[in-house]
């Protein structure tokens, strides 16, 4: 997998992106972080890219690109020649045609145990709010391939955490991120190695 180019897309703080930076720096992933692309003008993930000498591209939606935002986004991504695209807290939903340009080359990390608490409207702290409201005692994260149906692609791996009685969306988010960082690195490792097979909604790989 050496030399494989990863393009990371993120909208927020970028702690999952940081986990990928650390994994590459520490030799756990032998790949290149080709760029961080964000739909925000400014965010923690963009700052982390700049601090680590990784190409940082900010491409927010504006009145002038509104009509062809995703076409222009595609041109940016194509220009980066990615082997793998990682959505690490990326809050825009791509149109189906965009996803179909990269079959099984986009993976996402989601902060719940899919298929629960996923789909349109389930992102960031909203997910944790809904988990707490539901009374669920277990939550977690899911790394999965991206297909045109939101949060419904084949599951690469999941990690669980307990939902505590006094959890707030923020505290649950923190606890989920602790396991999510490691899970995302492992999912990227599995996909870059290519040592897996997709069987329905499940991704089979040696443990």
**Cβ 43 to ligand GAR shortest distance, Å:** 8
Q: Among all residues, whose Cβ is closest to ligand GAR?
A: 89
User: Quick one: which of 157, 173, 171 has its CA closest to 123?
Assistant: 173
115 upstream amide cis, omega within 30 of 0: yes
Q: What are phi and psi of 193, to 5 degrees?
A: -65, -30
From 4, 15, 46, 94, residue interacting with ligand GAR (rule: CB under 6 A): 15
Terminal-residue alpha carbon distance, the chain: 18
What DSSP designation does 64 have?
T
User: Is 181 an active-site residue?
Assistant: no
Q: What element of type H or E holds 15?
A: helix 15-25
Task: Examine residue 158 and tell whether it contacts ligand GAR (CB under 6 A).
Answer: no
Residue 172 touches ligand GAR, criterion: CB under 6 A:
no
Choose which of 48, 159, 177, 205 interacts with ligand GAR (CB under 6 A). 177
- Site residues for ligand GAR, 122-151, by CB under 6 A, read 123-124, 127
Q: Whole-number minimum distance, CB 184 to ligand GAR, in Å?
A: 8
Our CB check for ligand GAR shows the closer of 34 and 173 to be: 173
Give yes or no for residue 180 binding ligand GAR (CB under 6 A): yes
What ranges in 80-199 are assigned the alpha helix state H? 96-100, 124-134, 169-193
**To the nearest whole angstrom, how small is the minimum distance from the Cβ of residue 147 to ligand GAR?**
14
Going by C-alpha positions, the residue among 37, 12, 48 that lies closest to residue 94 is 37
Residue 110 contacts ligand GAR per CB under 6 A: yes
Q: Which is nearer to ligand GAR, 177 or 205 (CB)?
A: 177
State the DSSP H helix or E strand holding residue 51, giving kind and residue range, or none if neither.
helix 44-51
Half-sphere exposure of 90 (CA within 13 A, CB side): 26
What character string, x for contact with ligand GAR (CB under 6 A) and - otherwise, covers 90-109? -------------------x
* Of the candidate residues 4, 6, 8, 12, the single one contacting ligand GAR (CB under 6 A): 12
List the catalytic residues: 110
């Amino acid at each position: 997998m050496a030399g494989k180019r990863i393009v990371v897309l993120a909208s927020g703080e970028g702690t999952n992106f940081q986990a990928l930076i650390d994994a590459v720096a520490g030799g756990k992933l032998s790949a290149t972080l080709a760029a961080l692309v964000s739909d925000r003008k400014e965010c923690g993930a963009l700052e982390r890219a700049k601090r680590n000498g990784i190409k940082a591209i900010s491409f927010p939606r504006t009145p002038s690109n509104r009509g062809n935002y995703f076409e222009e986004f595609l041109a940016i991504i194509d220009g980066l020649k990615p082997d793998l695209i990682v959505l690490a807290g990326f809050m825009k939903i791509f149109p189906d045609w965009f996803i179909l340009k990269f079959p099984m080359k986009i993976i996402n990390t989601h902060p719940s145990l899919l298929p629960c608490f996923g789909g349109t409207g389930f992102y960031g702290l909203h997910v944790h709010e809904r988990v707490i409201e539901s009374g669920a005692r277990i939550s977690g994260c899911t790394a999965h391939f991206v297909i045109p149906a939101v949060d419904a692609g084949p599951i690469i791996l999941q990690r669980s955490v307990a939902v505590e009685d006094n959890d707030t969306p923020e505290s649950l988010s923190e606890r989920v991120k602790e396991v999510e960082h490691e899970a995302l690195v492992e999912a990227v490792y599995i996909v870059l190695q290519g040592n897996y097979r997709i069987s329905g909604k499940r991704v089979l790989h040696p443990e």
